[in-house]
């Protein structure tokens, strides 16, 4: 199993994993499945922003993927990203999620990001456990801010601070 940047040829595998999560889980709070063109647009948008999409690949299949984008679309949030991670349902529990997350954290540090945010359905024990093992700390629990499958969903926010710099833009003391 190899972790690498996604290629356009990975998009069908990514779409299938995404749609499975839409149809069967509360990991993503969408109810509509997407087509390949939707994921192609997302792929191009991430590339244009300079943000990675990583895949776990076994030589033939995409086993999982992870990516991040801007957390909020205001200038002041520019050093914070929010990520998503999905491992194919028949591949859970083999270390793929952890490997993808470690690679994604490295990439966030490499491009100078300061904080990674995970918004996780509060009942998703597996994802919360994985994130806590990687050093993420829960900073918020928002009751009943979502719904899927006819019930309310709580959202937990976890964050990982990636460095200890005092100067956000690394340009020294301003007047």
Cβ nearer to ligand COA, comparing 47 with 89: 89
Instruction: State both tokens at 91.
Output: 């591949």
Q: Which stretch binds ligand COA (CB under 6 A): 68-76, 120-128, 137-145, 159-167?
A: 120-128
Among 16, 19, 25, 38, binds ligand COA (CB under 6 A): 25
Any idea which residue has 């491992």 for tokens? 87
Q: Does 125 bind ligand COA (CB under 6 A)?
A: yes
Among 92, 109, 137, 141, binds ligand COA (CB under 6 A): 92
Contact 128, 138 (CB under 8 A): yes
Q: Does 130 bind ligand COA (CB under 6 A)?
A: yes
**Minimum Å distance from CB 73 to ligand COA?**
20
Which pairing describes strands 62-70 and 53-57: parallel, antiparallel, or unpaired? antiparallel
**Minimum Å distance from CB 174 to ligand COA?**
37
Q: In whole angstroms, give the CA distance from residue 59 to residue 38.
A: 24
Per the DSSP assignment, residues forming a β-bridge with 161 are: 115
Among 96, 117, 122, 162, binds ligand COA (CB under 6 A): 96
């Amino acid at each position: 199993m190899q972790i690498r940047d996604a290629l356009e040829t990975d998009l069908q595998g990514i779409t299938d994993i995404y749609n499975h999560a839409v149809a069967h889980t509360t990991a993503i709070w969408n109810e509509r499945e997407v087509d390949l063109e939707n994921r192609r647009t997302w792929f191009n948008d991430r590339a244009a922003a300079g943000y990675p999409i990583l895949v776990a690949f076994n030589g033939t299949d995409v086993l999982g993927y992870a990516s991040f984008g801007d957390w909020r679309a205001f200038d002041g949030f520019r050093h914070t990203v929010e990520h998503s991670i999905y491992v194919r349902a028949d591949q859970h529990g083999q270390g793929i999620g952890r490997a993808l997350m470690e690679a994604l954290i490295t990439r966030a540090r490499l491009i100078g990001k300061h904080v990674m945010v995970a918004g996780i359905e509060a009942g998703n024990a597996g994802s919360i456990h994985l994130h806590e093992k990687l050093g993420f700390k829960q900073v918020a629990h928002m009751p009943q801010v979502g719904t899927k499958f006819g019930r309310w969903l709580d959202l937990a926010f976890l964050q990982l601070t990636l460095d200890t710099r005092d100067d956000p833009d690394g340009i020294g003391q301003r007047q």
